[in-house]
């Protein structure tokens, strides 16, 4: 069945780059997402990429997709304390289909 | 910017009671969803709703759950007889015809005692 896997924790020094990795199983996924969740808050869509793309850049965020390996990564350049949150990798087959989420990676920023 | 709203933000109820969680979708959005997130766990899909009927539901969405659009604007999730394990954050999401993004509401935290 559909599954999304990601590591649970990542610690990064302030100013360094953070790279959060994710793998998914459903090769028919068309949309791949990164959501951010701050403590006690809802889900904020950071960015998404179509499965026919291999890279998308949006300011400090870079998403890389390796469709062959079903591997997705999110790179946050110049990590700031405000980036401290849980980052969820997610996928869906179509834009109006259910979204399947990973368990989330908790990003901890070291001073 | 338009947004999805949910009420209440926090609901505390006794086991066995019925609860209704409400969502006001973005105007003109046609696809609606409920997800839940048990504390510390991942976000799980419950149900999708389109054209006034359920289009897909997960195995979590058993007979205790129901959804409806009672007045054409609100989108509700009803849990008939709550259990302790229903305690979670419940998120509503909506999608418009011409958009790629599911817009999520801020969530309702349900606590069952």
Among B34-43, B62-71, B83-92, the range with the most confident prediction by mean pLDDT is B83-92
Cβ separation of B91 and A100 shorter than 8 Å? no
Chain A contact set for B3 (CB, 8 A) = none
Using an 8 Å CB-CB cutoff, list chain B residues near A90: 43
What confidence score (pLDDT) does residue A64 get? 96
Which of the pair, A111 or B80, is modelled with greater confidence? B80
Q: What's the confidence (pLDDT) of residue A40?
A: 78
> Is A42 in CB contact (< 8 Å) with chain B?
yes
Going by pLDDT thresholds of 50, 70 and 90, the confidence category of residue B80 is very high
CB-based contacts of B28-31 (< 8 A; 24+ apart in sequence): B28/B96, B28/B97, B29/B94, B29/B95, B29/B96, B29/B103, B30/B95, B30/B96, B30/B97, B31/A96, B31/B55, B31/B94, B31/B95, B31/B96
pLDDT at residue B72 tops 80:
no
pLDDT, position A27: 80
Comparing CB atoms, the residue among B42, B91, B100 nearest residue A102 is: B42
Contact B91 A104 (CB under 8 A): no
Kindly determine whether residue B102 and residue A48, on different chains, have CB atoms separated by under 8 Å.
no
Contacts of residue A103, Cβ cutoff 8 Å, sequence gap at least 6: A5, A6, A8, B41, B42
Percent of chain A at pLDDT above 70?
Answer: 99
> What pLDDT shows up at residue B113?
96
Q: What is the pLDDT of residue B29?
A: 86
Q: Would strands A4-6 and A18-24 be described as parallel, antiparallel, or unpaired?
A: antiparallel
- Across residues A41-50, what is the average pLDDT? 89
Q: Does the pLDDT of residue A1 top 70, yes or no?
A: no
- The minimum CA-CA distance between A103 and chain B, rounded to whole Å, is 4
Judged by CB atoms closer than 8 Å, whether chains meet at B102 and A41 is answered as no
- Give A95's contacts in chain B (Cβ within 8 Å): 95, 99-102
Cβ contacts (< 8 Å) between B34 and chain A: which residues? none
Residues of chain A with pLDDT > 90: what percent? 73
Residue B2: the pLDDT is 74
Q: What residue in A sits closest to B46 (Cα-Cα)?
A: A98
User: Which pLDDT does position A29 carry in this prediction?
Assistant: 81
Nearest-Cα residue of chain B relative to residue A103: B42
Per-residue pLDDT of A62-75, as tens digits, reads 999 999 999 999 99
Match 């701050």 to its residue by tokens: A38
Is the per-residue pLDDT at B97 higher than 80?
no
Q: Which of residues 49-108 of A touch B (CB under 8 A)?
A: 88, 90, 95-104
Q: 3-class DSSP state for residue B111?
A: strand
């Amino acid at each position: 069945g559909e599954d999304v896997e990601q590591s649970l924790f990542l610690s990064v020094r302030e100013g360094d780059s953070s790279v959060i990795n994710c793998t998914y199983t459903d090769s028919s996924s068309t949309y791949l997402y990164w959501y951010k969740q701050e403590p006690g808050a809802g889900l904020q869509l950071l960015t998404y990429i179509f499965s026919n793309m291999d890279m998308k850049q949006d300011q400090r965020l870079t998403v890389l997709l390796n469709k062959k390996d079903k591997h997705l990564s999110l790179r946050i350049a110049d990590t700031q304390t405000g980036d401290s949150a849980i980052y969820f990798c997610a996928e869906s087959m179509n834009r109006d289909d259910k979204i399947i989420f990973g368990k989330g990676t908790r990003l901890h920023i070291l001073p | 910017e338009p947004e999805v709203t949910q009420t209440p933000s926090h609901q505390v109820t006794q086991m066995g009671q019925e609860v209704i969680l409400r969502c006001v979708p973005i105007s003109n959005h046609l696809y609606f969803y409920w997800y839940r997130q048990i504390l510390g766990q991942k976000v799980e899909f419950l149900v999708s709703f389109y054209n006034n009927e359920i289009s897909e539901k997960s195995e979590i969405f058993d007979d205790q759950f129901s959804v409806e659009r009672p007045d054409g604007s609100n989108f509700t999730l009803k849990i008939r007889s709550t259990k302790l394990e229903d305690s979670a954050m419940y998120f509503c999401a909506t999608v418009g015809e011409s958009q790629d993004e599911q817009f999520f509401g801020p969530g309702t935290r349900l606590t069952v005692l």
